[in-house]
Amino acid sequence: MITYRIFKNSDADEVANLVKETMLTTNIKDYSEEYFNNDLNRLTAQGFIMRASYFHCYVFIDDTVNKIIAVGSIGAYWDKKDESSLFNIFVSPTYQGQGIGRQLIQVLEEDEYFKRARRIEIPASITALGFYQKMGYSFKNGNNIIDDEQLYRLEKFK
């Protein structure tokens, strides 16, 4: 059975490992080794603990093996009350294609940060672009150019 809950600091090492595994397995075709090294330097256990102090971070767990299989966060967009952003959404490669990502987005879209916002932004990887578009997100301001962080900026209005 798959369940979800709010991230706990004790999840940090497992979440950081999940992110690393996902990036090096799923995202590897779209990014350079240098990109991964830079990104993974900030997606550490301590980094997740820090971000969870000001975002709402959720983990999905496969209870049959007691393992975190997905993570995602939502928070205010630059401290705005009417805009929010999704962050650090990762699904274990083993569980991709099984609807876990869709469920994770649905949970994030039930969060108070989503409900209070009129606009939600997400920095989308090259790899995840199609998935987010299927979830109703479109290019911010119609701009379909990858930015200097090698991400697409997507948004959804409510």
Tell me the pLDDT tens digit for each residue of 81-99. Answer: 999 999 999 999 999 999 9
Tell me what pLDDT residue 84 has. Answer: 98
**How many helices, marked H, and strands, marked E, lie in the chain?**
6, 7
| pLDDT tens for each residue of the chain, 158 residues long | 999 999 999 999 999 999 999 999 999 999 988 888 888 888 999 999 999 999 999 999 999 999 999 999 999 999 999 999 999 999 999 999 999 999 999 999 999 999 999 999 999 999 999 999 999 999 999 999 999 999 999 999 99
pLDDT of residue 81: 93
Q: Tokens 């301590």 sit at which residue?
A: 46
Is the Cβ–Cβ distance between 124 and 86 less than 8 Å? no
Q: How many CA atoms lie within 13 A of 57 on its CB side?
A: 23
User: How many whole angstroms separate alpha carbon 37 and alpha carbon 26?
Assistant: 15
**Per-residue b or e along 129-146, where b marks 16 or more CB atoms closer than 10 Å to that residue's CB:** bebbeebebeebeeeeee
